[in-house]
Amino acid sequence: MQIIEGGVTAAAGYQAIGIAAGIKKGKKDMAMLYSQVPCQVAGTFTTNVVKAAPVKWDREIVRGSGRARAVVMNSGIANACTGAEGLRCCEETAEKAAGLLGIQKNQVLVASTGVIGQELPMDVINKGFETMVPMLSDTAGAGTLAAEAIMTTDTVKKEIAVQVTLGGNVVTIGGMSKGSGMIHPNMCTMLAFVTTDAAISGEMLQRALSSDVKDTYNMISVDGDTSTNDTCLLFANGLAGNPEIREDNEDYREFCRGLNFVNTWLAKHMAADGEGATALFEVKVVGAQDKEQAVTLAKSVITSNLVKTAICGHDANWGRILCAMGYSGASFDPERVDLYFESSAGKLKIIEDGVATDYSEEQATQILSQKEITALIDVKMGQEQATAWGCDLTHEYVNINADYRS
Amino acid sequence: MQIIEGGVTAAAGYQAIGIAAGIKKGKKDMAMLYSQVPCQVAGTFTTNVVKAAPVKWDREIVRGSGRARAVVMNSGIANACTGAEGLRCCEETAEKAAGLLGIQKNQVLVASTGVIGQELPMDVINKGFETMVPMLSDTAGAGTLAAEAIMTTDTVKKEIAVQVTLGGNVVTIGGMSKGSGMIHPNMCTMLAFVTTDAAISGEMLQRALSSDVKDTYNMISVDGDTSTNDTCLLFANGLAGNPEIREDNEDYREFCRGLNFVNTWLAKHMAADGEGATALFEVKVVGAQDKEQAVTLAKSVITSNLVKTAICGHDANWGRILCAMGYSGASFDPERVDLYFESSAGKLKIIEDGVATDYSEEQATQILSQKEITALIDVKMGQEQATAWGCDLTHEYVNINADYRS
């Protein structure tokens, strides 16, 4: 597997673009992704009972034909809690884009992120399509414009691409995502779009995605709030010419490794760029008796406000980590737990068998003052493990969210 | 029922005191509560798997004899995650206090709050008892000293007392508590101590408490973190001379009404005084099909960081409320939900049937700028309801918790 330049346009046959259509003042706010040939499409969506209209629209297509050629996005208005009118807007959006692209409306997926409850300005959006369709391009730069146009409170664009070799053919997998706030995926969060030129059946594509999101997007949390709009879409157009993947064989597993790399990279970068974050905080639980226990413990620690503020203060307040494990719902023996803090500044054992070691607070503070910090927790019950990613809770998170709509 | 002055010393036969023993620098940090005659004692404790040593000590006594005469408290060190040494410190603490009081060590309950993982300075604590025992007093002022001595990041003391009439006898119920951070009770949170001179059997006393904490302490949240030390103790010494309550009769129900008033008052004041809070935020869910649904929805909204930061910004960002209901795990129809904001500045319908009304943002901001704010949510599925209390998430919360140990 090799990392290459680019994002959603890295694989053969994909075009993209992003523009400032005028939904948000002075910022890019609309994007399109288009495949020159029909694609298999897999998707995972929010499990929130309150689902945004675009989630409902996309789910119909993914679970129905499982085939699409385009996705259109806006980052100004979420089109959630908008009732029947919201769904009508999705259909009109898809219809307008489809007309300009010369395809069917049920081949166009729709994704939105932004303020909940407001209605889409359809005139601005329709005008946006007229601007975008002639600009669609397969260059890396066009993919980057799309990655920038889906950002809300994100501070950096997130795109990545890798190549794997399947049956002698080089296959590319590239993706982009946006995260930042209301990030606590349950199924898959935020907006993420991954494209590949691999030839793979719809069934195996969905299986690869559904399995992978559990270890990637579903393992990050910025604030514990599971969004109404979480959407992850994976397109495969077959242009790489590899023997089509139809079963769980070596090619499938290699494809999954590439997909996992792309999704993990996007997920970690979403956590690191969480609203107001100054550090990426990784929690790795090892020695668990089963996967579920490891996941429950890691996610409880990554979500704790008290742990997150301690990380903000570079404070080795390990009691809060044990406390968050304790209320997670998973059972374990607190008096067997070992805990280490680790970063580019070193690795330090903080707790052994549930009690503090004689560690140096100064050294701990130095380790916790880096941009990427890991808490390694060994519960000594078995062989399973899980890793979750989050960030610190800062003043800036409060600033951003106390004023989001103003 | 009548509200009277005082707290834990309001009922007949109780003495208390609080002092600055030197565990914390320049602040009151130790307290005692003592009954002149033996009491029935009921208790509820944290459900966190990581339980502080004092929780283990108290649970033994409450579930064992169910009788006690004193509780000793410190607010500097939580004595959690301290292993076998922590339990030994509890026993030594109880023994020392018992010796000075002339009672048995298994009649002395122990409560701690503060930093997790550090060991108790037993010499300071033993010296504290020698200072406190001669100072014990049944005055309101002594009760207030105890209420002040259990505070950590609390900014105001919390004490309340009421009187009810049972079988022609005036019975007093008084309490004190501390909360502020790591507040998300599951069973009962923080430290709360309630005393009464009612005559009531141990069984009915525990039943009254266990039932009431579900609607009071268990319905507040400051930060979603369920503490390792949550303890609520209820003492009854029978000195009021009422016919002993032994069954679910009118006297029992009147006693429960008084207890509920005291516990609700203490719980709400803990929420309002949450770390960094500028407002008490009440979420009332009505029209639920069962109690569990109402509780789940109300607690999910009260715990959401995004809702809490919106309240901090006086922003009627109602989409975040619907979103938090959506990921709560309770099922409901988002397109039937009505939502009102209410405070001393008025009442405003914000959502009707899941869609925004044509409300005035200016009026909403005014309502949300008061010190006590209610979100009233009608899910229109049945007759059940629940109320939860929390607070806004502010810069000050981050300040307090990034630097807690320094």
Q: Chain B partners of A184 at a C-beta cutoff of 8 Å?
A: 327
Tokens 């369920």 map to which residue? B226
Strands annotated E in B299-396: 338-343, 346-352, 355-356, 372-378, 384-391
Residues of B in contact with A112 (CB under 8 A): none
Task: Give me Rg for the CA atoms of chain A.
Answer: 21
Residue intervals of chain A classified under CATH 3.10.20.340 are: 280-402
**From its phi and psi, is residue A277 left (phi > 0), alpha (psi between -120 and 50) or beta?**
beta
Domain B2-270 is of which CATH architecture?
A: 4-Layer Sandwich (3.60)
- Residue A146: half-sphere exposure toward Cβ, Cα within 13 Å: 39
The Cα A187–Cα B115 span in angstroms is 36
Q: Per-residue pLDDT averaged across B115-138, rounded? A: 91
Beta-carbon contacts of B373 under 8 Å, excluding residues fewer than 6 positions away, are: B279, B280, B281, B282, B311, B341, B342, B343, B367
Q: Please tell me the distance from the alpha carbon of residue B193 to that of residue B54, in angstroms, as a whole number.
A: 14
Give the strand order in the sheet containing B280-288: B355-356, B346-352, B338-343, B372-378, B280-288, B384-391
At residue A104, what is the residue type?
Answer: Q
Axis-axis angle for helices B305-312, B318-326 (nearest 10):
160
Task: Give residue A186's pLDDT.
Answer: 44
Chain B residues whose CB is inside 8 A of the A401 CB are: 305-306, 309-310, 312-313
The one catalytic residue among B144, B153, B172, B189: B189
Is B395's pLDDT higher than 70?
A: yes
CB–CB of B228/B45 below 8 Å? no
Of B355, B398, B405, the CB nearest to A83: B355
Pick the more confident residue, A192 or A8: A8
Given A49, A225, A324, which is nearest B305 (Cβ)?
A: A225
For helices B122-132 and B83-101, what crossing angle results, to 10°?
Answer: 20
- ipTM for the complex? 0.70
Positions of A marked active-site: 189
Which of B87, B151, B76, B152 is CA-nearest to residue B118? B76
| Bridge partners, A41 (sequence order) | A235
Among B383, B378, B181, residue whose Cα is nearest residue B297: B378
What is the distance between the alpha carbons of residues B298 and B22, in angstroms, rounded to a whole number? 41
Predicted confidence (pLDDT) per residue in A88-97, tens digit: 999 999 999 9
pLDDT number for residue A196: 92
E strand residue ranges, B201-314: 231-236, 280-288
Would you state the pLDDT for residue A185? Answer: 47
The CATH number of the structural domain formed by B280-402 is 3.10.20.340
CB contacts, 8 Å: A351 with chain B:
81
Q: Report whether A48 contacts B324 (CB < 8 A).
A: no
Q: CB under 8 Å to B331, separation ≥6 — which residues?
A: A49, B293
The answer to whether A356 contacts B117, with C-beta atoms less than 8 Å apart, is yes
pLDDT at residue number B6: 93
Instruction: Indicate whether A158 pLDDT > 80.
Output: yes
Distance (Å) from the alpha carbon of A171 to chain B's nearest alpha carbon: 37
| Minimal C-alpha gap between A215 and chain B (Å) | 20
Cβ-proximal residues to B349 (8 Å cutoff; 6+ apart), any chain: B338, B339, B340, B357, B359
> Which residue among A50, A182, A325 sits closest to B50, beta carbon to beta carbon?
A325
What torsion, rounded to 10 degrees, do the Cα atoms B321, B324, B326, B327 define? 180
Per-residue pLDDT, A223 = 66
Q: Work out the minimum CA distance from B234 to partner chain A, whole angstroms.
A: 24
φ, ψ dihedrals at A6, nearest 5°: 105, -175
Distance CA B273, CA B284 (A): 19
Q: For residue range A334-377, list pLDDT tens digits in order.
A: 889 999 999 999 999 999 998 889 999 999 999 999 999 999 99
Q: CB atoms < 10 A from the CB of A143, how many? A: 32
Residue B186 has pLDDT above 60, yes or no: no
B320–A80: do the CB atoms touch at under 8 Å?
A: no
Residue A386's beta-bridge partner residues?
A: A285
Residues 6+ away with beta carbon under 8 Å from B174: B6, B7, B8, B9, B10, B11, B14, B143, B159, B160, B161, B162, B194, B195, B196, B262
| Residue contact B49–A335, C-beta within 8 A | no
- B71-80 burial: b if 16+ Cβ within 10 Å, else e: bbbbbbbbbb
Tell me the pLDDT tens digit for each residue of A40-67.
998 888 777 778 888 899 999 999 999 9
pLDDT for the residue B224 = 64
- Note the pLDDT tens digit of each residue in B215-272: 888 777 766 666 677 788 888 999 999 999 999 999 999 999 999 998 888 888 888 8
- CB pair distance less than 8 Å for B228 and A326: yes
A395 to B393: CB separation less than 8 angstroms, yes or no: no
Element (H, E) at B202: helix B202-215
| pLDDT above 70: percentage of residues in chain A | 95
Q: Do A225 and B394 touch (CB under 8 A)?
A: no
Task: Give the span between the Cα atoms of A379 and A283, in whole angstroms.
Answer: 13
Write out the H or E segment, with its range, that includes residue B398.
helix B395-402
Domain(s) labelled CATH 3.60.70.12 in chain B stretch across 2-270
CB pairs A-B closer than 8 Å = 210
Cβ neighbors of A396 (< 8 A, separation 6 or more) are: A275, A276
| Residue A181 banded pLDDT, cuts 50, 70, 90 | low
What is the mean pLDDT of the segment spanning A276-297?
93
Yes or no, beta carbons of B401 and A310 under 8 Å apart: yes
Verify whether residue B189 is a known catalytic residue. Answer: yes
- How many CA atoms, within 13 angstroms, populate the side-chain half-sphere of residue B266? 36
